[in-house]
Amino acid sequence: MSVPVDRSTSYENGDSNHSEHPTILVPQLLKQFYNLGWVTGTGGGISVKFGDELYVAPSGVQKERIK
């Protein structure tokens, strides 16, 4: 599944508290994907490329509990 990205937004100083930063967004997406039945508790995976960084949800961990 491909999601359009607005590349015009900049996150100066690596603002990890911004609502669209992967450290905020990934746990929210995992909970939503779990509730929709798209991933199982410890199965499935998600990763996000953000600039030069890659954020990967851990395997073997209940997705709905990741914070």
Mean pLDDT of 19-39: 88
pLDDT at 1: 56
Inside any domain, residue 14: no
The whole-angstrom separation of Cα 31 and Cα 14 is 24
pLDDT at 3: 58
Number of structural domains the chain divides into: 1
| 62 token code pair | 């209940």
Residue scoring higher pLDDT (51 or 59) = 51
| 47 token code pair | 């990763």
Inside any domain, residue 26: yes
pLDDT at 4: 58
Residue scoring higher pLDDT (2 or 42) = 42
Domain with 23 in it:
19-65
Mean pLDDT of 45-65: 86
pLDDT at 12: 47
Inside any domain, residue 7: no
